[in-house]
Amino acid sequence: MTKYFSVGFLLFLLACQTTEKKTASLVGKEKDAPFKIHYAQNFSVRYFDTHKELTVQLASQDAQTAQKYALIRRGQPAPKGFSKAQIIETPVRSCVLSSHTHIACLQALGLEDKLVGLTEATYLPDSSLLQKLQDKKVLEVGKDGNWQTELLFSLKPDLLMLNSSDASKLNLPTHTQKVVNLDWQETHPVGRAEWLFFVSLFFEAEEKALPIVAKIRQDYETLREVVGKAGLTPQRVVLDVPYKGTWYMPAGKSYMATLLKDAGATYGWQKSEGVGSLPLDFEAVYAEAQKATFWLNVLLCKSQADIIALDSRLANIPALKAGKVYNYHKRAWKNGTNPYFMHSILQPHLLLADLVKILHPDFAPNQAHNLYYYAQVK
């Protein structure tokens, strides 16, 4: 009996080992990632011997859903458990990007040559890319939310990176895969910058992203800690300008709300929910604006006259009367195109330094900083 039991137990162990090896060959052994995400909440990645498993959190009106992708080396077999639409071969050889922030990340990685198509060229603040568009080396495939599918098919990109899931039904070439990049939904400015890792995954360029993100995070955290320990009096601010009777404020969990808090600012909707913008009545924000010392982020307005032209009542806001209105238009082009919307995703430390300089001009540790994106609206 003992003999038969031993043989049976041995066969059982062998069977377990066989099953383990089979599973490992299909799934792969998990290993350490070459980078750590500190602030970004809307994507994560796991590394396996066989592939990278990328997860993107897609926020909807009803719930938070996740989209998974398997990134595999070109020509390698796909892991089990993923549909064809979830399999992306790397490194990506050509791509179409639907947001200028995606392009900024591609440029930071030194991979601009992989870009074959983009959207919204009218507002592109990059002379070299505008020249490539003129020379037809890069094509504009979308504008004002409309896609030119014939151009997409002619380009045959490996990857189409979207900034929302709205184009989920977009007709694409057979081998083109699409992925959603939600950098704009992050709650922290450095979290947005960490999407550089996300872009790098598709080009196997994580090692290039590492020192860039590390420097951004260090510079931001260093200034934030100095400001936090200084015990500065929070400055009350109002933001944005009204449009057709609606005045938008950054929601309390948006990256802009975090940036303002870290810079020593407070505003009326800092404790609200959401990561986007809050549509508010003119009267509600106008009343709040009477309490504000500073007025920031006035969109396309470059002068006080531009602001007052929107609504004559705005002339009575104390911050405007005191000349304490600042906007991110310092580097804007004459046609209104603004590098702020493209490049600041990887420069949250400069945005923080700008705001600290504006709100606390006598703060000694930031005295040497010259405003980079912001300028006074006169």
pLDDT, tens digit, for every residue of 314-330?
Answer: 999 999 999 999 999 99
**Per-domain boundaries in the chain:** 28-214, 231-376
Could you give phi then psi for residue 259, rounded to 5 degrees? -60, -45
Q: How far apart are CA 109 and CA 165, in angstroms?
A: 25
pLDDT 10s digits, 253-312: 999 999 999 999 999 999 999 998 999 999 999 999 999 999 999 999 999 999 999 999
pLDDT score of 27: 61
pLDDT of residue 13: 43
| Collapsed DSSP state (helix, strand, coil) of residue 93 | coil
What burial letters (b/e) apply to 63-99, b meaning 16+ CB within 10 Å? eeeebebbbbeeeeebbeebeeebebbbebeebbbbb
71's enclosing H/E stretch is strand 64-73
Up-side HSE of residue 219: CA atoms within 13 Å toward CB? 19
Query: How high is the pLDDT of residue 3?
Result: 41
97 forms beta bridges with 118, 161
Give the DSSP H/E element, type plus range, for residue 25. helix 2-27
Residue 167: its pLDDT value, please?
A: 62
CATH code at 28-214: 3.40.50.1980
Given this model, what pLDDT does residue 145 score? 83
Residue 272 and residue 91: Cα distance in Å, rounded? 41
Phi, psi (rounded to 5 degrees) for 85: -70, -15
Q: Which CATH code fits 231-376?
A: 3.40.50.1980
- DSSP string across 282-335: HHHHHHHHTT-SEEE--TT--SHHHHHHH-GGGGG-HHHHTT-EEES-TT--TT
| Fold equal for 28-214 and 231-376 | yes
Count of Cβ atoms closer than 10 Å to residue 320 Cβ: 20
Residue with tokens 């200028």: 100
Show the DSSP H helices in 109-248 as ranges: 127-134, 149-155, 189-193, 195-201, 206-230
- The pLDDT of residue 168 is 62
Instruction: List, in sequence order, every residue forming a beta bridge with 52; answer none if it has no partner.
Output: 47, 71
Give the pLDDT score at 63. 53
Q: What is the pLDDT of residue 20?
A: 36
pLDDT at 127: 95
Identify the pLDDT of residue 28: 77
Q: How far is CA 204 from CA 44, 105, 193, 207, 256, in A?
A: 16, 14, 18, 8, 30
Residue 374, both tokens: 């912001």
Model pLDDT, residue 18: 39
Kindly give the parts of the chain with pLDDT less than 50: 1-25, 61
Look at the block and give the residue holding tokens 């922030």.
101
